[in-house]
Chain A
Amino acid sequence: MNMAAVRRFFDGDVWYSFRASRLAQGAAVVAFACVFCALFAEWIAPHDPFNLATLDLADARLPPAWFEGGKSLYLLGTDDQGRDILSALFYGARISLFVGLASVLLSVLLGVGLGLLSGFIGGRIDALIMRVCDVMLSFPAILVALLIDGVGRALFPNAHDTLAFAVLILAISLTGWVQYARTVRGSTMVERSKEYVQAARVIGVAPLRIMRRHVLPNVLGPVLVLATIQVAEAILIEATLSFLGVGVPPTSPSLGTLIRIGNDLLFSGDLWITVCPSVMLIAIALSVNLLGDWMRDALNPRLR
Chain B
Amino acid sequence: MFAFILRRLLQAVIVMLTVAFIAFMLFQYVGDPVTNLLGQDATPQQRQQLRADLGLDQPFPVQFAHFIGNAVQGEFGLSIRQGRKVSALIVERFPATLELAGTAAVLAMGLGVLAGVYAALRRGSVLAQSMMALSLLGVSLPSFVIGILLILMFAVTLNWFPSFGRGDVVTLGAWTTGLLTSDGWRHLVLPAVTLAVPQLTLIMRLVRSEMLEVLRADYIKFARARGLTNRAVHFGHALKNTLVPVITIMGLRLGALLAFAIITETVFQWPGMGLLFIQAVQFTDIPVMAAYLCLIALMFVTINLVVDLLYFAVDPRLRIERTGAAH
Which residues of A come within 8 Å of B, CB atoms? 131, 134-135, 138-140, 142-143, 146-147, 149-151, 153-155, 157, 236, 239-240, 243-246, 259, 263, 266-267, 269, 271, 274-275, 278, 281-282, 285-286, 289
Contacts of B281-325 to chain A: CB distance below 8 A: 281-282, 284, 286, 289, 293, 296, 300, 304
Say what secondary structure dominates the interface of chain A. helix
A154/B148 contact (C-beta < 8 A), A140-B256, A140-B260, A289-B140 known: no
Q: How far is the CA of A155 from the CA of B256 in the complex (A)?
A: 26
The answer to the question of B266 belonging to the interface, with a C-beta cut-off of 8 Å to chain A, is yes
Q: How far is the CA of A262 from the CA of B15 in the complex (A)?
A: 39
The answer to the question of B105 belonging to the interface, with a C-beta cut-off of 8 Å to chain A, is no
The answer to the question of B249 belonging to the interface, with a C-beta cut-off of 8 Å to chain A, is no
22 sample A-B contacts, Cβ–Cβ < 8 Å, listed by A number:
A138-B255, A138-B304, A139-B255, A140-B255, A140-B256, A140-B260, A146-B262, A147-B296, A151-B22, A154-B30, A157-B284, A239-B142, A244-B144, A244-B263, A244-B278, A246-B281, A266-B152, A278-B145, A278-B148, A281-B145, A282-B145, A289-B140
Cβ of A150 and Cβ of B140 under 8 Å apart? no
B201-219, CB under 8 A of A: which get 1 and which 0?
Answer: 0000000000000000000
A286/B140 contact (C-beta < 8 A), A154-B26, A240-B263, A244-B266 known: yes
Chain B residues, Cβ within 8 Å of A271: 152, 156
Q: How far is the CA of A244 from the CA of B144 in the complex (A)?
A: 9
Considering only CB atoms, which chain B residue lies closest to A246 in the complex? B281
Q: How far is the CA of A150 from the CA of B282 in the complex (A)?
A: 8
Cβ of A281 and Cβ of B282 under 8 Å apart? no
Which residues of B come within 8 Å of A, CB atoms? 11, 15, 22, 26, 29-30, 140-145, 148-149, 151-152, 156, 252, 255-256, 259-260, 262-263, 266-267, 277-278, 280-282, 284, 286, 289, 293, 296, 300, 304
Cβ of A245 and Cβ of B140 under 8 Å apart? no
Name the distance in Å between B108's Cβ and chain A's nearest Cβ: 15
Q: How far is the CA of A154 from the CA of B140 in the complex (A)?
A: 31
Cβ of B281 and Cβ of A154 under 8 Å apart? yes
Q: How far is the CA of A269 from the CA of B300 in the complex (A)?
A: 40
Cβ of B148 and Cβ of A153 under 8 Å apart? no
Cβ of B263 and Cβ of A154 under 8 Å apart? no
Chain A residues, Cβ within 8 Å of B300: 138-139
Chain A residues, Cβ within 8 Å of B11: 131, 134-135
Cβ of B281 and Cβ of A150 under 8 Å apart? yes
A266/B148 contact (C-beta < 8 A), A240-B142, A246-B281 known: yes
Name the distance in Å between B91's Cβ and chain A's nearest Cβ: 21
Chain B residues, Cβ within 8 Å of A143: 259, 262, 296
Name the distance in Å between A128's Cβ and chain B's nearest Cβ: 11
Name the distance in Å between A157's Cβ and chain B's nearest Cβ: 5
A151/B148 contact (C-beta < 8 A), A142-B259, A239-B142, A286-B140 known: no
Chain A residues, Cβ within 8 Å of B263: 142, 240, 243-244
Select B148's contact among A146, A155, A259, A289, beta carbons within 8 Å. A259
Considering only CB atoms, which chain B residue lies closest to A286 in the complex? B140
Considering only CB atoms, which chain B residue lies closest to A289 in the complex? B140
Cβ of B289 and Cβ of A240 under 8 Å apart? no
Cβ of A147 and Cβ of B293 under 8 Å apart? yes
Name the distance in Å between A93's Cβ and chain B's nearest Cβ: 15
Q: How far is the CA of A281 from the CA of B142 in the complex (A)?
A: 9
A259/B145 contact (C-beta < 8 A), A155-B29, A244-B262, A271-B152 known: yes
Known contacts A157-B284, A243-B263; 15 further A-B pairs (Cβ under 8 A):
A139-B255, A140-B256, A140-B259, A142-B259, A143-B296, A149-B281, A150-B289, A155-B26, A155-B29, A239-B144, A245-B278, A278-B145, A281-B142, A281-B145, A289-B140
Chain A residues, Cβ within 8 Å of B152: 266, 271, 274-275
Chain B residues, Cβ within 8 Å of A147: 293, 296
Cβ of B282 and Cβ of A259 under 8 Å apart? no
Chain B residues, Cβ within 8 Å of A150: 277, 280-281, 289
Considering only CB atoms, which chain A residue lies closest to B149 in the complex? A278
Chain B residues, Cβ within 8 Å of A135: 11, 15
